[in-house]
Amino acid sequence: MEISNNQLLRFTTAGSVDDGKSTLIGRLLYDSKSIFEDQLEAIETTSKRKGHEGIDLALFTDGLRDEREQGITIDVAYRYFTTPKRKFIIADTPGHIQYTRNMVTGASTANAAIILVDARHGVIEQTKRHTFIASLLQIPHVIVCINKMDLVEFKEEAFNRIVKDFENFASKMLITDIRFIPISALLGDNVVNRSENMSWYQGAPLLHTLETLHISSDLNKVDARFPVQTVLRPQREGYIDYRGYAGRIAGGMFRVGDEVIVLPSGFNSKIKSINGPSGELAEAVVPMSVSLTLEDDIDIGRGDMIVRSNNQPNPSQDLELMLCWLNNNPAKPRAKYTIRHTSNEQKAMIKEVVYKIDINTLGRSQDDSEMNMNDICKVRIRTTQPLMIDSYRENRMTGSVILIDENTNETVAAGMIV
């Protein structure tokens, strides 16, 4: 088989408890022939033991012992499948326990979000919550699957009514690409194969949609950003004076000869060479791991950022963030945390909770400044040294931070720079 030029698409699935999320994933894997015989046999055996008729596709997504025993999903699970057009990574996020925390995690790297709506119940509170998180995390593409169409007799009116409701509330959110597909995950309608029961639907089935989404523009290809991870200084013959700055391009493109500036020190230089994974390159694009050498000897280390002289991020010590709290221990007012932004690490203090978002009504509350697990708040923080930031809307890699509790070493919050 020839090694193709196919792209990788990461998507997350969000749904409530009984809206058929596991069945949908099982159906995608099954109909795209991504399930192996021994997996199928194991599921057939379990289905029989549990008294199901036929095979229960939802069982494909069971993972840990407790999940099997309790029939729930505890943590994000990653699943993989490939079609002749693309490779896919699914971040399968649970519907109930620590919902926000898990969906935020799954959404952080996703190109697309699949949001499931039960055709019988239409847009409910949870649907709004999922959509809000997809917009907060700036997932570039949202696909709303209106599921269980078989239970509303495959009627076009039912579908149209939900689309209208959805568009109504979603118009207030920052979502640039949204599509609607009527499906039946259980029967397979419009998942991989076009539905014969819904000839009124002219659009593409889900898999075809995923295969053709335009994702080349999902990363910022304009503003060149290179956070330095580590410095390569080979102590061996032929490379005695070699200093390579290793990192993964976080935005835009770099070319040999580019005029660059190193932040925060402010020294200027030119790119002398770019070493990619398979040798020297004339240019390299996000999200490639490379190492750069510069024309001048400059003191550069982990946490520094190399950018083009004519396109720089904002150095800032005072950040406004949308912060999602991820830990059982609530945020302590004015407490200090370690903040990680790209490869840079500083101390930070939460100075002010501007407002908290009520995830059910999407209203803002200004009097409630306590941040508990799963809360989403707008906050102001101050860092010990300036960070080289972009807004999260412009660049998800240089616009995101995490907070780490120094007492437990745990990651306690995820922040998106406003």
Partner 1 sequence: MSKYFLNYLDELESEAIYVLREVWAQFQNPVILFSGGKDSIVVTHLAKKAFYPSRIPFALMHVDTGHNFPETIQFRDDLIKELDARLILGLVQESIDKGRVAEEQGKNATRNALQITTLLDAIEENKVDCAIGGGRRDEEKARAKERFFSHRDDFGQWDPKNQRPELWNIFNGKHFEGEHFRVFPISNWTEMDVWNYILRENIEIPSLYLAHDREVVYRNNSWIPNSEYLILEESEKIVTKKIRFRTLGDITITGGIESEADTLDKIVQEVSAMRKTERGDRTDDKRSETAMEDRKKQGYF
Our finding on whether 373 is near partner 1 (CB under 8 A) is: no
Given candidates 298, 368, 411, 418, which one binds partner 1 under the rule CB under 8 A? 411
Residues from 297 through 336 that contact partner 1 (CB under 8 A): 302, 326
* Shortest Å distance, C-beta 276 to partner 1: 9
CB 166 within 8 A of CB 123: yes
CA 274/CA 159 separation, integer angstroms: 52
* Shortest Å distance, C-beta 107 to partner 1: 9
* Shortest Å distance, C-beta 125 to partner 1: 24
* DSSP summary character for residue 160: H
Residues from 211 through 270 that contact partner 1 (CB under 8 A): 216, 221, 229-230, 232-236, 238-239, 242, 244, 246-248, 253
Q: 282: burial class by Cβ within 10 Å (0-12, 13-18, 19+)?
A: exposed
- Contact stretch for partner 1 (CB under 8 A) within 151-159, 195-203, 357-365, 399-407: 399-407
* Shortest Å distance, C-beta 168 to partner 1: 30
Q: Are strands 86-92 and 344-357 parallel, antiparallel or unpaired?
A: unpaired
Give the residue among 68, 129, 81 at the shortest CA–CA distance from 104: 129
* Shortest Å distance, C-beta 41 to partner 1: 9
- Contact stretch for partner 1 (CB under 8 A) within 15-23, 76-84, 157-165, 348-356: 76-84
Residues from 116 through 155 that contact partner 1 (CB under 8 A): none
Q: Closer CB to partner 1, residue 107 or residue 158?
A: 107
Our finding on whether 197 is near partner 1 (CB under 8 A) is: no
- Contact stretch for partner 1 (CB under 8 A) within 38-46, 124-132, 199-207, 347-355: 38-46
* Shortest Å distance, C-beta 223 to partner 1: 15
CA 159/CA 202 separation, integer angstroms: 13
Residues from 153 through 192 that contact partner 1 (CB under 8 A): none
Give the residue among 126, 62, 64, 139 at the shortest CA–CA distance from 100: 126
* DSSP summary character for residue 251: B
- Residue 30 makes CB contacts below 8 A (sequence gap 6+) with 57, 60
Our finding on whether 364 is near partner 1 (CB under 8 A) is: no
- Contact stretch for partner 1 (CB under 8 A) within 84-92, 127-135, 187-195, 380-388: 84-92
Our finding on whether 272 is near partner 1 (CB under 8 A) is: no
Reported as type and span, the H/E element at residue 60 is none
Q: DSSP 3-state assignment of 379?
A: strand
Our finding on whether 100 is near partner 1 (CB under 8 A) is: no
- Residue 239 makes CB contacts below 8 A (sequence gap 6+) with none
Give the residue among 127, 97, 174 at the shortest CA–CA distance from 374: 97
Per-residue b/e over 283-321, b at no fewer than 16 CB within 10 Å?
A: ebbbebebbbbbeeeeebebbbbbbbeeebbeeeeebbb
* Shortest Å distance, C-beta 185 to partner 1: 20
Binding mask 53-72 for partner 1 (x = CB under 8 A): ---------xxxxx-x----
* Shortest Å distance, C-beta 3 to partner 1: 5
* Shortest Å distance, C-beta 358 to partner 1: 22
Our finding on whether 387 is near partner 1 (CB under 8 A) is: no
Given candidates 343, 356, 357, 379, which one binds partner 1 under the rule CB under 8 A? 343
Give the residue among 144, 167, 164 at the shortest CA–CA distance from 24: 144
Q: Closer CB to partner 1, residue 51 or residue 266?
A: 51
**DSSP line for 389-412:** E--TTT-TTTSEEEEE-TTT--EE
**Total number of residues that touch partner 1 (CB under 8 A):** 77
Given candidates 32, 47, 83, 109, which one binds partner 1 under the rule CB under 8 A? 109
CB 298 within 8 A of CB 231: no
Distance of CA 24 to the CA centre of its chain: 20
Reported as type and span, the H/E element at residue 39 is helix 37-49
Q: Closer CB to partner 1, residue 160 or residue 374?
A: 374
Given candidates 104, 115, 149, 175, which one binds partner 1 under the rule CB under 8 A? 104
CA 372/CA 398 separation, integer angstroms: 26
